[in-house]
């Protein structure tokens, strides 16, 4: 059975790249009728955040990426939180030491950092020189008895090469001399991310390991661990990077696109999922819009790209606009109302007026919080015209007469209904003998303060007779 895992670190928010990793792992498993596992990699205890852990559970639920096993959904391969598995890592690290595939390293961390920085300044790649590989067993025991601080390092063979087949990037071969003796167990007794991953993936019977393509060249280190521990090798699927517009990789440390911020700004989960699926993957047919179930059905690992994908919020807005329009009116109103209510005082507004306002913008919005940006004209008592509006009002001598006639037509309206507003506009067209842009644009500018917007009749209706007449009278 295909088993994949999403193994986030609860050290902060979840960004777009993290969520895409979860989505791809989910799709790979579910397409094959397999299982999707959640594991929390909390070995970085200095940065652990319990709120971040809670958010992981919440977001996977919001995006319908339900897992078959995890910290709060027990299975037979738990525990699913790495800090609860320390004795397991210690056991396997000591086994590697006993078999000569790992060794105790007593090198001073400060000295190593200095050497690493020096190599960086010289433009060289730093590899730990293997100083402690040469220690005799007697020297090691003496240092251990003296309680000297140590880490456990993997002993990488310095001859030959290690090869594997990646399901996305194909056959990969790395020379062993280019691999560093990586740390497996840190001086605080916690495993490194790299070592814990191998042990956990093997013991949890993960068949397909999904990870970022930046790990393509270091994967042989993990494969040597699998071999040394006599674990079966899994399949590897290295995912293309998600880059920002400036070409740099997305990162929590750089405060890049926060998934929760997107939700809070009114991006729908189904739109985000649909967009992310197409960041680094192409469907067989020329199709852009997918439900999660359709993605599960059509997802094919062979269609994952090798080149990086660029995260473009404008493209995401385009997807989100599509999904907002697809909402039925009641779901749309329930979704959009909180954004308007947060931005403006609605106590004086009737339910009918609010409903009319929100529905008028349903086919115009790209994200929920945009409603506050585009409806400001209905909550301002006075308008300040931009230069382009002022210039247009001066562009034709007929405009002043048109506005005067329209003002008189508005004054005649007794029953403030859309059909009567539309009739006032038609009467103005006939009396002023203007049409098109010279009819509609001046009326829109003076009544709303902007050159473009929703249907003019809807705009005037929502502004109300008193406000519209006052603005026309002020010309």
Identify the three-state secondary structure at position 470: helix
CA 244 to chain centre: 12
Identify the three-state secondary structure at position 229: coil
Structural contact between residues 99 and 228, judged by C-beta atoms closer than 8 angstroms:
yes
CA 156 to chain centre: 36
Residue corresponding to tokens 């997807």: 319
Residue corresponding to tokens 């109302």: 337
- List 95, 244, 249, 252, catalytic entry: 252
CA 272 to each of CA 16, 268, 318: distance values in angstroms, whole numbers, following the listed order: 9, 6, 11
Q: Which helix (H) or strand (E) holds 168?
A: none
Among the listed residues 155, 35, 139, 147, the one whose alpha carbon sits nearest the alpha carbon of residue 103: 155
Token duo for residue 156: 């990488």
- The per-residue b/e assignment along 328-341, b for 16 or more CB within 10 angstroms, e otherwise, is eeeebeebbbebbe
Q: Are strands 102-105 and 151-154 parallel, antiparallel or unpaired?
A: antiparallel
Residue 16: how many other CB atoms lie within 10 Å: 22
* Cβ burial, residue 276 (10 Å; 0-12/13-18/19+): buried
Q: Are strands 151-154 and 208-212 parallel, antiparallel or unpaired?
A: unpaired
CA 153 to each of CA 107, 158, 172, 316: distance values in angstroms, whole numbers, following the listed order: 11, 14, 24, 44
| DSSP symbol at 73 | B
Structural contact between residues 439 and 432, judged by C-beta atoms closer than 8 angstroms:
yes
Beta-bridge partner residues of 73: 70
* Active-site annotation holds for 252: yes
Question: Which amino acids are annotated catalytic?
Answer: 252
């Amino acid at each position: 059975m295909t088993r994949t895992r999403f193994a986030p670190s609860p050290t902060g928010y979840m960004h777009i790249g993290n969520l895409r990793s979860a989505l791809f792992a989910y799709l790979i498993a579910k397409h094959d009728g397999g299982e999707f596992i959640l594991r929390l990699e909390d070995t970085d205890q200095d940065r652990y955040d319990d709120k971040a852990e809670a958010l992981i559970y919440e977001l996977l639920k919001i995006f319908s990426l339900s897992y078959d096993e995890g910290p709060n959904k027990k299975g037979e391969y738990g525990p699913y939180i790495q800090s609860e598995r320390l004795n397991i890592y210690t056991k396997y690290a000591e086994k590697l030491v006993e078999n000569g595939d790992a060794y105790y390293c007593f090198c001073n961390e400060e000295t190593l950092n200095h050497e690493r920085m020096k190599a960086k300044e010289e433009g060289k790649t730093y590899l730990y020189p293997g100083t402690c590989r040469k220690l005799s067993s007697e020297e090691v025991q003496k240092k251990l008895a003296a309680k000297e601080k140590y880490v456990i390092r993997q002993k990488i063979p310095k001859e030959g090469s290690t090869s594997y087949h990646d399901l996305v990037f194909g056959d990969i071969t790395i020379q062993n001399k280019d691999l560093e003796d990586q740390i497996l167990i840190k001086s605080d007794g916690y495993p490194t991310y790299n070592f814990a991953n191998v042990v956990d993936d093997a013991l949890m019977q993960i068949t397909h390991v999904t990870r970022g393509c930046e790990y393509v060249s270091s994967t042989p280190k993990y494969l040597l661990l699998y071999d040394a521990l006599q674990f079966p090798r899994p399949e590897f699927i290295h995912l293309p990077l998600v880059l920002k517009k400036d070409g740099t990789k997305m990162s929590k440390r750089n405060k890049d696109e926060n998934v929760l911020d997107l939700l809070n700004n009114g991006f729908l989960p189904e739109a985000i999922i649909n967009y992310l699926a197409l960041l680094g993957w192409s469907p067989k047919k020329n199709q852009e819009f997918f439900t999660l179930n359709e993605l599960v059905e059509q997802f094919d690992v062979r269609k994952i790209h090798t080149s990086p994908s660029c995260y473009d919020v404008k493209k995401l807005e385009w997807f989100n606009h599509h999904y907002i329009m697809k909402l039925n009116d009641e779901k749309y109103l329930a979704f959009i109302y909180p954004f308007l209510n947060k931005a403006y005082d609605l106590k004086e507004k009737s339910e009918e007026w609010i409903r009319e306002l929100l529905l008028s913008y349903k086919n115009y919005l790209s994200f929920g919080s945009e409603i506050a940006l585009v409806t400001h004209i209905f909550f301002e008592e006075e308008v300040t015209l931009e230069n382009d509006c002022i210039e247009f009002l001066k562009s034709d001598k007929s405009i002043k007469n048109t506005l005067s006639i329209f003002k008189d037509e508005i004054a005649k309206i007794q029953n403030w209904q859309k059909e009567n507003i539309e009739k006032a506009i038609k009467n103005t067209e006939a009396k002023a003998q203007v049409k098109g842009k010279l009819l509609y644009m001046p009326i829109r500018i003076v009544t709303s303060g902007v050159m473009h917007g929703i249907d003019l009749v809807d705009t005037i209706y929502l502004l109300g007779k008193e406000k519209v007449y006052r603005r026309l009278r002020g010309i």
